[in-house]
Amino acid sequence: MKLIVLKHGHFDHCQNTAYLAEAPGCPVGIGEADAALLEQGVKRKVHGRGIWGGIYAAASNWNIVHRKMAYLKPEVILQPDMPLSAYGVDGKVIALPGHTAGHVGVLLDSGYLFAGDAMQNIGKPEIIR
């Protein structure tokens, strides 16, 4: 079995999930604290610091306001240390709260980490709740 792993619930990661999950009949997993963002189609605006951050935020927020997102109830709630072997992945879920409360990553047995937006706040990382 395969699994679509959403590392967090921001619009740019979830916008086309319903379509992608339908095509192969693939279940969708997301961290528990972000599940409502996907299920309710919540679109949170982003914020940026400085000139580049402001430009990035303005472009992102334009998309958030003007693009549609289908609601989707996740079939799998990703929990920290959850093994993914049942989905054909030699690895586990790890919690990476900060970018969002439910941000998760996939740590492969090989040592590689799939984190998603891990470098969003390059200059001065901060916790966003």
Tell me if the pTM is above 0.95.
no
Per-residue pLDDT, 40: 75
In angstroms, the CA 114 to CA 105 distance is 5
Q: How far is CA 51 from CA 46, 47, 120, 124, in A?
A: 14, 12, 15, 15
Those residues whose C-beta lies under 8 Å from the C-beta of residue 67, and which sit 6 or more positions away, are 11, 15
In angstroms, the CA 41 to CA 56 distance is 22
CB 68 within 8 A of CB 16: no
Per-residue pLDDT, 119: 54
In angstroms, the CA 24 to CA 1 distance is 11
| pLDDT above 90 for 97 | no
| pLDDT above 60 for 126 | no
